Amino acid sequence: MATRSTKPEGEASATTLRRLMKEYQTEQKIQDQQSASSGSGSGNAKATSAAASRDENILYLAPKDTEGTQLLEWQATIRGPPGGSYEGGIFDLVITVPASYPTKPPSMRFVTRLWHPNVSWKTGEICLDVLSSQWSPAWNLSSALTAVIALLDAPEPDSPLNVDAATVFRTGDPLAYKSMCRMYTLLWASGPAA
C-alpha cells in the first residue's frame, strides 16, 4: 500500500526551496557586485564570477517578497539587446515557479507590452521551448531569462502567440518588422525619461 504525502498540493519541497534560495543568494551577490563596481569597492571573487556568468541584459531578478520567505513568485527586468529590434527597451516580467521546480519549468510572462511573434499581446505569455518541452533541471531562472532575451531577436514565427507580429515577420520585410518592434518598444518599454 502506497503512502500519500500530507503536503498540500502546490507547496514547494525542501529541495525546491533550497534551490531557489541558492539562486536568490547568487542574485543578491550579483546585485552587491554591481553596486560595489559602481562605487569604489571591487567585490569578492565569487560575486565577480557570478556577475560575469550572467547575461548583462538581466537588470533585476528577485523574489517578489523581498524578505525571501515566499520564493515561488519572482520578478525580473531585462533590457532589449544592443543592436536589436528591442534595443533601449526595459521590460518587466513575472516568473511563477512551480512547486516541483527544477524538474518542471517556471512560467514567465511579460508585464511590459511587447510586440513579438512569440509573446501574447494580451497576456504577455511567452512561447519558448526552453520554458516547456526543452526544459532541463540544469537550467535556472537566470539562464531561462537569457533564453528569453535571445528570443527577442530570434523569433519563431511557426508557433506564434501574436499572429500579427508573426505575419509581418514572415513577409520577409525586415525593415517593416523592426520598425513595428521599435515603435512598440518606444511606446511601452522606453522607461522613465533620463
Residues designated as active site: 127
Domain count for the chain: 1
pTM of the model: 0.86
Domain annotation covers residue 157: yes
* pLDDT tens digits, 61-70: 999 987 767 8
Domain annotation covers residue 48: no
Find out whether 118 and 130 touch, Cβ atoms under 8 Å.
no
User: Residue 142 corresponds to which cell in the numbers above?
Assistant: 537566470
* pLDDT tens digits, 22-71: 999 999 998 888 878 766 555 555 545 555 578 899 999 999 987 767 89
Domain annotation covers residue 40: no
Q: What amino acid occupies position 66?
A: T
**Average pLDDT of the chain?**
87
Q: How confident is the model at residue 145 (pLDDT cuts 50, 70, 90)?
A: very high
18-51 in b/e form (b: 16+ CB < 10 A) is: ebbeebbebbebbebbeebeeeeeebeeebbebb
Question: DSSP H helical segments within 39-173, as ranges?
Answer: 45-53, 141-152, 163-170
Q: Which domain holds residue 66?
A: 56-188
Residue 142, domain CATH: 3.10.110.10
